[in-house]
Structure 1
Amino acid sequence: MAETGKAAKGGGFLGAVERFGDRLPDPVFIFVWLIAILMAFSALAAFLEFTAIHPITGETLMAQSLFSRDNVQRLLTSMPQTLTGFAPLGLTLVIMLGAGVAERSGLFSAGLRAGLRNAPKAAMTPIVMLLALVATHSSDAAYVVLIPLSGVIYASVGRHPIAGIAAAFAGVSGGFSANFMPGPIDALILGVTEPAAQILDPSWSMNVAGNWFFILGMAAVFFPIGWFVTDRIIEPRLGTYTPKGETPISSQKSDSQLSPEERRGLWYALGGFLAVTGLWLWLTFGPGTYLQIPGAPWEERLNPMLDSLIAYFFLLFLICGVCFGIPTKTIKSHRDVVRMSTEAMKDMSGYIVLAFTAAHFVVMLNWTGLGAIAAIHGAGAIQTAGLPAPLLLAVMVLLAAGLNLVVGSASAKWAFMAPFLVPMLMILGISPEMATAAYRVGDSVTNIITPLMVYFPMVLAFCRRWDPDFGMGGLLANMLPYSFAFLIGGLTLTIFWVWLGIPVGPGAPVTFVVPDGAVLPEL
């Protein structure tokens, strides 16, 4: 058991949140109760004929009861597929198969001691926040690699590992749309914006860099906010990390000298890194272009390479771990490799149980159709607000942030909101690019405080590696300051961006001039 200091459950609002959260049942049973509530509400919504009109197809979306014959049959016949189809589960287990070898062979420990031995502790948070913001382009890989690794990095320099996990989670997920360059998410989200804008202006076409300046502004705002919250709020309330029966990390030597075997192992591991990375570069850019789509637009051409990053990290950790373990004698035969991977899977057993219930809740929510219906009705409420453009977009940010607590998929929410909101905002003189940018602020900032976010249980499992008693309340309490601060920063950025009329991206102004004769359809 880990003792995290008196500050971990102190007074004030965050202490109350943590105490309340820790009184909740185990996260597995929280999802069980949520499923029960969802089933009851779906039956009521279906009985009351809770509906919405799809803004593009005109199709009437009706709430579906989970007690219907089809849904009961689907639930009972597809349980294995529901679990195995839960995306974070497979991604996490694949990564951990390789990472278990790299960690247990001693590679992580030696590498961190070598690379961070002279690095000041104060530099850890800005480094982690910067990496986390950039890593959002790697999507799943950022969650399953950077977040747990940040805990190890913080521990190696005598800082609280859960503070490192919180900082990385805040950057990767709370700052989901903030970045320095456009990436796949830009093509995805703006691709949804295009048909919505064409409802009003058929000549409008997507510019994948249409949000570039704005997401750069988000990164510039979120970076110092995340740094401040981590160092001034989160880590002080966590206290000094003390594993049971050991001295505090801060009083241990994290810069112990490497042995000759460890130095040789690190050189071997560097060779493994170059080999695996060189292989991926060859597969991406070499003859045959196995991980590229020749002739595709540049924003789509490297999608296969991005999709292969999980396999890359698996092989990278595995090969580098073996290369380090052979000269250091931590790996003496292939049986040691199997043992290390097996032990890593044992550590993930609790997460697998949690994933079973989380996966069923997510898929059953989709079966009801309630998420899409709620998104459409929520979007409709904005139309009657009659607010000035900056405040109207601020309301849109808040709407997206609220819906994000119950509907996790960014593209799914926008697919239902955009056909209604984008044409309406265009009539009011706001460009589709600016509408998309405002949505992305709200869609990002509350990712880190909803247990319904598919990676939330996984991050909780990472925290429990360092503190087995760390609960849902602890994670919520530690992520709330980031979420509130990001929301305030994002709202302020959005309001001032529209007020100042700064272009959202190259060739993407804030304003929109309605074409002559264009009329917003009744949606």
Structure 2
Amino acid sequence: MSLGARVLNTVERVGNRLPDPVFLFLWLIAGLIALSLVGAGLGWSAVNPVTGDQLVAQSLLSPENLERLIIGMPRTLADFPPLGIVITIIYGAAVAERTGMFSTAIRGALLNAPRAILTPVVVITGMVSHHASDASYVVVIPLAAVIFAAAGLHPLAGLAAGFAAVSGGYAGNLFPGASDALILGITEPAAHLIDPSYSVNIAGNWFFIVGVVFVFTPIVWFLTDRVIEPRLGKWTPSEGVAAPATSEKEPLTAAQRRGLQFAGLALLAMIGLWTVITLLPGSPFVDPDADPEQRFNPLYRSLVAFFAVVFFVTGAAYGAGSGSIQSHRDLVRMMRDGIAQLAPYIVLAFFAAHFVAMFNWSGLGPILAVNAAAELKSLALPAPLLLICVVLVSCFFDLFIGSASAKWSALAPIVVPMFMLLGISPEMTTAAYRMGDSVTNIATPLMSYFPLILTFAQRWDPRFGLGSLMATMLPYAGAFLVAGLTMVAAWVAFDLPVGPGVGVHYEPPAPAVAAQEPATGGLSGPHSPPQAAAVPPSTPLPR
């Protein structure tokens, strides 16, 4: 057995022994309680260089924190930022998905693609299809194989390109969507550990995720056409196996085309409505008193509602045009079914919310961040190298834990405050994490959709096994990793904007210590006066 095969077998064995993410969070909570007892007993502390507050470790078994945990349990869950955002968007996305609008639009984009640009069309469609959530795995990837076969190309090359775009390119998109709301919703309460006034919006990574599309698309195009397809050779159906006879190859029906026309008109109407509201005098989407780069922050924060309403309106318009909606009861049923599919996430969110809240109550996050930032500053490492470390750590954890939100819920309270103290914005740190979380999805058999992709592949070649799929996808994963590291480093080196009004660097407000009387000696000396605040100013329970 080769070294590569032994490594993959080891990863699979270790990964299969990991518990469900729910129990991972239970273990993390148990470890956090023990660590808080040690920290409180040893008097761990630090000084927040932004607010000037004395940070002291708090026991999670103190009467105050036990009261927060037990009595405030419903509020802790309700205040978990990603939960409300995701549920809001799902109300609309469920309608767009269940009326058939998402799948029909994807089919229309792929079926009409010329052969010469078939691969980049598949890639871009795959990345944009992230707005359809898990539907992209069951629509884009098998459809890409069908379209390649219809064009006389190897269907498994199409499947590989679709898989690379949908899963390996998960950090890329042309417009923010539910995944941005989910991940950046976790970033904001982590940033509040250092700067309670910091605001993160759904468009915080917009420019970066568009950059991923432009960087990854030519990579997939080159590898698919010049490496993967030649390696696969000319495809001939195995004995007894022909191209699957599915309706995916059939052109769109008149009803489906009419539905897309209705949806397009509805989309234009919604864009026009948001534009009019933005341009009106006294618009709630514009803050005239803010700095110029922050003036449109209310507009960016309205994008959660915008996408929810757009998905709902365009989905309903498509359903009316195509006939997939017969009455308003169908719309209600679709929204109900969409929320029902969130049940596993809601279960996970309960434990993730309590871990994030308890981490905040313990005060360990900012203490660790302040001390780690001081150590890193002493090493004088450049910012690009620091963020490259975030990418690599994210890549490693992605081999074992598939849930992006689960990993970020655990990492964000540490890395976001730490990098803020080093002058890196929360949005840039989040972008580096998302890059690492994206590239290794296609390289691990522990990824939840890996067996499904293998099943799709075996429709075309029953002899195509797990090792075959791994060998096919590893070139993409390796190229994505190199490109991702380079992209993150270049983004910092050239100080490019990460999103509208958001840069690479974080400029903290003036430290509160500057306002203290000189006679007090500041807050950093060993005989500093006692401080009432044991943790950074924040809402009682993190949002």
User: TM bucket by the smaller chain?
Assistant: 0.5 to 0.7
1:228 positional shift: 7.8
Note closer, same or farther for the CA distance 1:442–1:33 as it changes in structure 2 (3 Å cut): same
Contact 1:170 1:226 in 2 (8 A): no
1:117 positional shift: 0.9
The equivalent of 1:170 in structure 2 is 171
The equivalent of 1:122 in structure 2 is 119
Note closer, same or farther for the CA distance 1:214–1:363 as it changes in structure 2 (3 Å cut): closer
Return the match for 1:76 from 58, 62, 70.
70
Contact 2:26 2:351 in 1 (8 A): yes
Say which SS state the counterpart of residue 55 (structure 2) adopts: strand
CA distance in 2, matches of 1:337, 1:25: 37
Query: Which has the higher mean CA deviation after the structures are superposed, 289-298 or 356-365?
Result: 289-298
1:114 positional shift: 1.8
Amino acid at match of 2:366: A
Note closer, same or farther for the CA distance 1:360–1:254 as it changes in structure 2 (3 Å cut): same
Task: Indicate whether 1:359 and 2:353 are aligned.
Answer: yes
Contact 1:130 1:223 in 2 (8 A): no
Note closer, same or farther for the CA distance 1:408–1:291 as it changes in structure 2 (3 Å cut): farther
Mapping 1:71-470, distance limit 5 Å: 71-119=65-113, 121-124=118-121, 126-127=123-124, 145=131, 148=134, 150-151=136-137, 152-158=139-145, 159=159, 163-171=164-172, 252=246, 254-294=248-288, 296-385=290-379, 392-393=382-383, 396-397=386-387, 421=422, 436=424, 444-447=431-434
Query: Which has the higher mean CA deviation after the structures are superposed, 392-401 or 34-43?
Result: 392-401
Deviations 1:156-179 (A, max 9, x none): 423367644423433369x9xxxx
TM-score w.r.t. the length of structure 1 is: 0.63
CA distance in 1, matches of 2:133, 2:225: 17
Amino acid at match of 1:167: G
CA distance in 2, matches of 1:325, 1:306: 29
The equivalent of 1:198 in structure 2 is none
The equivalent of 1:4 in structure 2 is none
CA distance in 2, matches of 1:382, 1:442: 15
CA distance in 1, matches of 2:76, 2:344: 18
Contact 1:162 1:466 in 2 (8 A): no
Note closer, same or farther for the CA distance 1:112–1:169 as it changes in structure 2 (3 Å cut): closer
Note closer, same or farther for the CA distance 1:299–1:57 as it changes in structure 2 (3 Å cut): closer
Contact 2:98 2:334 in 1 (8 A): yes
Note closer, same or farther for the CA distance 1:31–1:304 as it changes in structure 2 (3 Å cut): same
CA distance in 2, matches of 1:154, 1:307: 32
CA distance in 2, matches of 1:69, 1:402: 40
Contact 2:110 2:144 in 1 (8 A): yes
Query: Which has the higher mean CA deviation after the structures are superposed, 23-32 or 297-306?
Result: 297-306
Mapping 1:432-511, distance limit 5 Å: 436=424, 444-447=431-434, 484-485=481-482, 488-489=485-486, 493=490, 497=493
Say which SS state the counterpart of residue 248 (structure 2) adopts: coil
CA RMSD in angstroms, aligned pairs only: 5.1
Say which SS state the counterpart of residue 171 (structure 1) adopts: coil
1:150 positional shift: 4.5
Contact 1:165 1:463 in 2 (8 A): no
CA distance in 2, matches of 1:54, 1:107: 50
Percent of matched pairs sharing the same residue: 34
Deviations 1:453-487 (A, max 9, x none): xxxxxxx99959968x9xxxxxxx99986885366
1:16 positional shift: 3.6
CA distance in 2, matches of 1:348, 1:233: 39
Contact 2:47 2:53 in 1 (8 A): yes
Note closer, same or farther for the CA distance 1:75–1:230 as it changes in structure 2 (3 Å cut): farther
The equivalent of 1:242 in structure 2 is none
CA distance in 2, matches of 1:322, 1:299: 36
The equivalent of 1:135 in structure 2 is none
1:409 positional shift: 8.2
Amino acid at match of 1:122: T
The equivalent of 1:204 in structure 2 is none
1:399 positional shift: 6.3
Amino acid at match of 1:445: A
TM-score w.r.t. the length of structure 2 is: 0.61
Structure 1 unaligned residues grouped into runs of 5+: 1-9, 133-142, 176-183, 196-211, 236-246, 423-435, 452-459, 470-476, 511-520
